[in-house]
Structure 1
Amino acid sequence: MDCLLEQLKKEPMLRYIPNKNEIEKLCEQYKIGELVTIDGELGGLFNVNLKINTTIGNYVIRVHSGLSSEIHLLAEKHLLKKLIEQDIPVLTPLNTTNGSYFSTLHNRFVQITPFVQGIPFIFSNEQVYRCGNLLKKFHNALIREEEIPTPNWSNYPSHRVLKQGIYQLVKLQRYIHEPPLITEVERLYEKVMNEWSCLNGDSLKKVVIHGDWHPWNVLFNDKNEIKYILDFDFLQKGERIHDIAYFLWTIRNEKNKKKLGEHFLKGYGPLTTSEIELLPIAIARASLFFLCTASFVANPGRELNEQMQVQKPYIEYLLSDNGKTSIKQLIN
């Protein structure tokens, strides 16, 4: 047990799946009935999301990666309460029997939520419109919030994270054996961030952003209304254009991406002149993130090769006159 704890401390990205005895103790700790079945994982790159069935109902045990922090979880609790007060549909974790927002297991934070089902995302115009509309309400609901703790890890492409990723790639260069690729990542970084700076991207007003706003983090009901927003690990202060850009980035490979993008942006509503100019660059930053952070995964050489094939052509398209025009034309 001591060896396991030490390993989890040393490797924050290492996922931990609780065993049957530990799950039974968690059921008792959260007063959710006796364990009946362990139904398996629901997915998750860093966190473990384990569906279980108890004598009371179905639940999801979420074992966070070692990158989660207590201070951010407590800030999340505060922000979710604010969202609920504004009628924003968020899925909130249960409290333990002693009223805590989370528990701990082997140096990992644990939360439990009811298992909820919804209509699958089918990339319809109505669904993306509702995603845009609710995102605007989300941003407005938290617009008066002051600084909140920055998560230790997120998809938000801050200068710090991007530079840290490149530094790590260079440091690992002799192990990756791909110096030309690393040089190309540095070139793309300079190109994207220079355009971001020239358009004064850092001067945009910052609000509380979701940080991971994509089609699979919302659940719909049978009326095509959003039933729940999921996954608040990446809540932080940032440019609202990032949430918008990240959603557009996630639908980039859909055949009807132009219509989907138009409906999403129509749902969100007016953007400022600066945001419109920066939108193609903000989407390029989302792509750049996955290049720069290839060094943080278990096999950085393979990850860098795979990401370069996918992200480089898209970044170059977004920075071209044709790409910029196409993105801006999505805004009616």
Structure 2
Amino acid sequence: MGTSGHLTNDVLFAIKHLSDWFPIGKLKGVGRKLGGSYNLNIKVETSQGEFVVRVLNSSNTEEHLRYTQKAFTVLGKHGVPVLNPILTLSGDPFVYYREKLLQVTRFIRADAFKYRPDQVRASAQMLSVFHQSLKNTIAGPDPSWSFYRSNDYFKNAIGLLKGMSDIPEYELYKVEKLAEDILEAWEKSQDALPTAILHGDWHFWNQLYKADEVYRVMDFDFIQQGKRVHDIAYSLWAIYILMPGYSKTFDELFIKGYANLTDEEVKILPVAIAKVSLFFLCQSAYSSTPKEKWRRQFRKQMPLIQWLLSDGEQRMYELVHGKKEETILEPEDEESDIETNIEADLESDSESDLEELE
């Protein structure tokens, strides 16, 4: 296998003792780091095959991991192909070593997301099955970190940004006014929206595919109870921001692939997507380089937020109920065309945005 360079000594030591904790055979080699920026994922080979060691982010907790394991059991019974962690010799889904939580999964050979329409449709269908499978599951502990935030998070982050001299005042003023509209609309919608157990990070790179069907669902670090429209909105946000050249078809495929959206969910979807964009803008307040992160996120997220709040409701309605006489995705006014606004920034920023998703 490849080298194990750039791994800390404690991680290397833990890997060398995996067979003491997990029934995976004798270690033969340590391979490369795999994708993902939230957890450290390392491929290893043993006498029983290939595996992935997951050194979990410090935000993970034993309580949340045990709850997630219970959800895996339910999902498996309903045919959702989760990437299950291998249990330790004592029956736990993790080990705790030197203040680090470690898990081991099998290394799965399958296709990554390749921007194929059938993959988008399959992802939406699987998300619907995911939500339906857990509909009778009781809520567990919230993750220590999440993309699904309360209104207070946004208000506090904007307050912090106001105290930073490097953030342009006129840009922050625009964001604050839009945030007020987004958060008010979201708050008013709560009673009418279905609650579900959320995956919390459902995007196309968190699934593996075979024959363009979802073969494995991965990365359950953010599973929690919330309004199920968030998972749908998060996926659509990924389409609009990370692949705007496909947005005119992929948003339709995803909406139609997800079964049983309520009228209330369709109506609030633009606000829910805008709320995801607002989250990435507000994360600038907690960045080590807030000015740079704000500059990049403002350039990418603001065109999407403005389009969603002006034309998004009509777009979502037409995707579900059919187009009206006038189309809204090819206007003469460049300012309302989401693809025109965002695509210019795709090459330079999509890779770093995807890292934030992972």
TM-score, normalised by the number of residues in structure 1: 0.87
Q: State the SS of the aligned residue for 2:102.
A: strand
Q: What residue is the counterpart of 1:11 in the other structure? A: none
Q: CA deviation at 1:170?
A: 4.0
Inter-CA distance 164–54: structure 2 relative to 1 (3 Å threshold)? farther
Query: Which structure has the higher relative contact order (CA within 8 Å, separation 6+)?
Result: 1
Q: Is the 8 A contact 1:30 1:94 kept in 2?
A: yes
Secondary structure of 2:245's match?
coil
Pick the aligned partner of 1:210 from 181, 199, 204.
199
| Residue number in structure 2 paired with 1:140 | 132
Q: Distance in 1 between matches of 2:133 and 2:152?
A: 28
- Do the aligned partners of 2:197 and 2:223 also contact (CA within 8 Å) in 1? yes
Partners of 2:316 and 2:28 lie apart in 1 by 50
Whole-angstrom CA distance in 1 between matches of 2:117 and 2:70:
33
Checking the alignment, whether the CA contact within 8 Å between 1:17 and 1:63 is kept in structure 2 is no
Deviation (angstroms), 1:179 = 4.6
2:96 is equivalent to residue 104 of structure 1:
yes
The alignment status of 1:238 with 2:226, answered yes or no, reads: yes
Shift of 1:148: 1.4
In structure 2, C-alpha distance between the alignment counterparts of 1:164 and 1:97, rounded to whole Å: 45
Is 1:122 the counterpart of 2:86 in the alignment?
Answer: no
Structure 1 residue 34, shift from structure 2 partner = 2.8
Partner Cα distance (1:61, 1:303) in 2: 31
Counterpart Cα distance in 1 of 2:139 and 2:25: 38
Shift of the 87–278 alpha-carbon distance from structure 1 to 2, 3 Å rule, reads same
Please say if residues 41 and 54 of structure 2, whose CA atoms lie closer than 8 Å, have aligned partners that are also in contact.
Answer: yes
Aligned residue number for residue 41 of structure 2: 49
Residue 221 of structure 2 corresponds to residue 263 of structure 1:
no
Q: 1:307 aligns with which of 282, 294, 297?
A: 297
Measured in 1, the distance between the counterparts of 2:56 and 2:191 equals 31
SS in 2 for 1:256: helix
- Residue 254 of structure 1 and its aligned partner are, at CA, apart by 3.5
SS in 2 for 1:277: helix
SS at match of 1:238: strand
1:285 aligns to 2:275 (yes or no): yes
Structure 1 residues 254, 89: closer, same or farther in 2, change over 3 A? same
1:276 matched to which residue of 2?
A: 266
CA deviations over 1:138-161 (Å, ceiling 9, x no partner):
101111122211111111133243
Q: CA deviation at 1:181?
A: 4.2
Measure, in 2, the Cα distance between the counterparts of 1:301 and 1:315: 20
Do the aligned partners of 1:297 and 1:303 also contact (CA within 8 Å) in 2?
yes
Gaps in structure 2 of 5+ consecutive residues: 1-6, 322-358
What fraction of aligned residue pairs are identical, expressed as a percent?
34
Q: Which moved more, 1:78-87 or 1:99-108?
A: 99-108
Structure 1 residues 36 and 151: CA distance shift in structure 2, 3 A: same
Corresponding residue number in structure 2 for 1:188:
178
Q: Give aligned pairs, total.
A: 313
1:191: how far off? 2.5
Given the superposition, is the C-alpha separation of residues 93 and 265 from structure 1 closer, same or farther in structure 2, using an over 3 Å criterion? same
* Comparing 281-290 and 262-271, the one that deviates more: 262-271
Q: Note the aligned Cα RMSD (angstroms).
A: 2.1
Q: Distance in 2 between matches of 1:324 and 1:16?
A: 49
Contact kept? 2:161, 2:167, Cα under 8 Å: no
What does residue range 152-191 of structure 1 map to in structure 2 within 5 Å? 152-170=144-162, 173-174=164-165, 176=166, 178-191=168-181
Please state how far the C-alpha of 1:29 moved relative to its aligned partner.
1.6
Question: In structure 2, which of residues 54, 62, 81 is the aligned counterpart of residue 62 of structure 1?
Answer: 54
Distance (Å, rounded) in 2 between the aligned partners of 1:261 and 1:48: 31
Secondary structure of the corresponding residue to residue 120 of structure 1: coil
Question: 1:35 Cα shift?
Answer: 2.6
